[in-house]
Amino acid sequence: MGRDDHARARTPGAFLARQHDGRTGPHLAAHPQEQPPDLAKELGFKHLLIPLDGTPLAEQILEPALTLGKAMQADYTLLRVVTPVYPLTLPAEPAIFGSVATDIMERVERTHAELKKEASEYLEKVAQRLRSEDLNVHTRVIVEEQPGVAILESAKPPLDMIAIETHGRGGLSRLLLGSVADKVIRGSRLPILVHKPKV
């Protein structure tokens, strides 16, 4: 096993892949360490990143995330990743390419603005519900082709934990394989709360 293999074996994703049991409910994973962890410090999560995709299924992560966060008096950031829209074709004729391309790009920009607006309104609706419980909740919308990449790039201080819902069925290994959650879990350097939904 090479150095990269050892590094991958020590990620939260590798741990979860080994520990799957197919049950619903939350799973908490953190990076293994050379020294015994300082639990008072390690469990002192203060700001949770919660990616949502607009579905009731994804919102099932909120209950376990809030249960953990309330115990730590944590803040929350709700994240929605909007997949960009690209034109499928452009005319090949030089005489009309310029004007048509400009029109298409303007439509794409308007579409992105509408998608971001819808995503922001959705997150604010969820955030207001949580704020009614006297919780400190932030929202963020990102336009990115790869949601997993956007989530990982957003997971920076002061954020110190990711809470994410999975969307698959069956055992956790099948649940995560090839999914956004899989990419996040295997790539994150932060502790992760993963919840398998009730379907």
- pLDDT recorded at residue 149: 94
Instruction: Name the pTM for this structure.
Output: 0.75
DSSP state of 158: T
Task: Kindly tell me the sign of the dihedral angle through the C-alpha atoms of 42, 26, 81, 9.
Answer: positive
DSSP 86-147: --S-----HHHHHHHHHHHHHHHHHHHHHHHHHHHHHHHHHHHHHHTTT--EEEEEEE-S-H
* CATH code at 3-196: 3.40.50.620
- pLDDT recorded at residue 20: 42
Greatest alpha-carbon span in the chain: 69
CA 175/CA 10 separation, integer angstroms: 20
- pLDDT recorded at residue 183: 87
Query: What does the H/E/C string look like for 22-64?
Result: CCCEEEEECCCCCCCCCHHHHCCCCEEEEECCCCCCHHHHHHH
Check if the beta carbon of residue 130 is closer than 8 Å to that of residue 52. no
- pLDDT recorded at residue 31: 59
- pLDDT recorded at residue 159: 96
What does each of the 199 residues of the chain score in pLDDT, given as a tens digit?
445 444 444 444 444 443 444 455 567 766 555 555 555 455 678 999 999 999 998 999 999 999 999 999 999 999 999 998 876 555 555 555 566 667 777 888 898 899 999 999 999 999 999 999 999 999 999 999 999 999 999 999 999 999 998 865 444 444 444 478 888 888 988 999 988 777 6
Cβ atoms within 10 Å, residue 98: 10
- pLDDT recorded at residue 167: 66
